[in-house]
Amino acid sequence: MKQEDIPVIQLKPGKESSLRRSHPWVFSGAIASVNQMPQPGQWVKVVDAQGRFLGAGHYHEGSIAVRILSFKDVEIDIDFWIDRLSRSWNSRQALHLNEEGKNTIFRWVHGEGDGLPGLIMDVYDQTVVIQPHTLGMYNEAAIIAEAIGKVAPQIQTIYLKPSEKQMEAQAQYLKGSPSNAIAFEHGLKYNIDWERGQKTGFFIDQRENRRLLGELSKDKKVLNTFCYSGGFSLTALQGGAAHVDSLDSSQHALDLTLQNVTLNGFDESKHAVIKADAVEYIKTVGSDYDIIVLDPPAFAKHLSAKHKAVQGYRKINEAAIRKIKSGGLIFTFSCSQAVDKDTFKGAIVAAAIDAGRQVKILHQLHQPADHPISLFHPEGEYLKGLVLEVI
């Protein structure tokens, strides 16, 4: 589209201040007028009440009307995408996240954290999975794939996997075809199922926390609840755990975990899978686990579900605090963006009081560097965790 054909959205007086601070969202209530009605997903320019340029981004119907992708008035063409993708690619290279045989699983683009609201891009060795969370980003898939070819020509496969929000959109290969899905994290091999798996196929955000578990697992008996494809189980085994039980309510998740345990040649007699509801199962166990990992799915996807989510965290943590061996550790997480760090900690305090045990915080955990948080978009902080020692 030619620059002059891009619809222009004018804000009400005073509503430009968050954009001037580089917060990338324009709420619908801030809009005074439009010179032509944009289509959902279309590029728009946003100007202040005096007509001065503020930013350009994707328009959608809903409370977030515009997600800004550029605070500069530049042409949005292939060079724009190459520039943006190469910046975050270089940042990941500098973090040593792309090293053959050691680590080839990383997040290339993390939405607002990388200045590209609505876009997630994950790398699994030679494959990139593009996950657009907005129609606007979905519409950019072809040009993004072209830019990937320029920035990382070694990428053999590009899989477009729209998020659940885009029911009508089709997942498809934009480059290559279903291919070898083995990728590395901490020197461990993982078989990544980006087609049928959750999210883009793997929970990349727990990389650093898995490493810490591995360091503390020697000779320990570990229960990894909500195991999905077994990330925490594998680092525990790598760290010399005496035994690991991997629990999930999904058989597909347990199958992935078993595949990954086998793929790495671990002693299968030291590992078992359990198909169960996590809370119900923990209530039935004795007190012989040295370490319990609690990494549930987001209990609160929206602010409205926050209260229920907090109760959920309280319940599951209380069960684990009651059952963990004396001196044992609990790795407990929340990935609900709507539940902030302090609220999560509050739920754990309540759980410890109900369980009637002494509990210390040894580590405070968070999302890794390839899931960056823009200083101007604090909403991007979502993963928090605690390592608790229970006396």
**Rule CB under 6 A: which residues touch ligand SAH?**
203, 206, 226-229, 231-232, 248-250, 253, 277-278, 295, 297
CA distance 133 to 41: 11
If the CB atoms of residues 219 and 277 are measured against ligand SAH, the closer one turns out to be 277
Residue 299 CB contacts under 8 Å (≥ 6 apart), including other chains:
305, 308, 309, 312, 313, 334, 336, 339
Asked whether the beta carbons of 272 and 308 are under 8 A apart, the reply is no
Q: With residue 229 as reference, give the H or E element that holds it.
A: none
CB of 335: closest distance to ligand SAH in angstroms? 8
CB of 281: closest distance to ligand SAH in angstroms? 8
If the CB atoms of residues 81 and 232 are measured against ligand SAH, the closer one turns out to be 232
CB of 225: closest distance to ligand SAH in angstroms? 6
CB of 250: closest distance to ligand SAH in angstroms? 4
If the CB atoms of residues 319 and 324 are measured against ligand SAH, the closer one turns out to be 319
If the CB atoms of residues 118 and 201 are measured against ligand SAH, the closer one turns out to be 201
CB of 73: closest distance to ligand SAH in angstroms? 41
Tell me how many degrees the CA angle 21-26-27 measures, rounded to the nearest 5: 130
CB of 231: closest distance to ligand SAH in angstroms? 4
If the CB atoms of residues 248 and 318 are measured against ligand SAH, the closer one turns out to be 248
CB of 114: closest distance to ligand SAH in angstroms? 22
CB of 99: closest distance to ligand SAH in angstroms? 21
- Give residue for tokens 């993390």: 110
For residue 185, the cross-strand partners are 188
CB of 298: closest distance to ligand SAH in angstroms? 9
If the CB atoms of residues 255 and 340 are measured against ligand SAH, the closer one turns out to be 255
If the CB atoms of residues 144 and 216 are measured against ligand SAH, the closer one turns out to be 216
Asked whether the beta carbons of 139 and 193 are under 8 A apart, the reply is no
If the CB atoms of residues 156 and 259 are measured against ligand SAH, the closer one turns out to be 259
SS3 32: strand
CB of 246: closest distance to ligand SAH in angstroms? 9
Q: What is the DSSP string of 251-292?
A: HHHHHHHHHHHHHTT--GGGEEEEES-HHHHHHH--S--SEE
CA distance 241 to 237: 5
Q: What is the DSSP string of 286-335?
A: -S--SEEEE----S-SSGGGHHHHHHHHHHHHHHHHHHSPTTEEEEEEE-
CA distance 118 to 25: 11
If the CB atoms of residues 232 and 313 are measured against ligand SAH, the closer one turns out to be 232
If the CB atoms of residues 59 and 299 are measured against ligand SAH, the closer one turns out to be 299
Q: What is the DSSP string of 135-198?
A: HHHHHTHHHHHHHHHHH-TT--EEEE---TT-TTSPPEEEES-S---EEEETTEEEE--TTTSS
Token pair of 385 as six digits: 């965790």
Residue 233 CB coordination number (10 Å): 31
- Give residue for tokens 């195991």: 227
Asked whether the beta carbons of 56 and 5 are under 8 A apart, the reply is no
Q: What is the DSSP letter of 241?
A: -
- Length of the chain equals 391
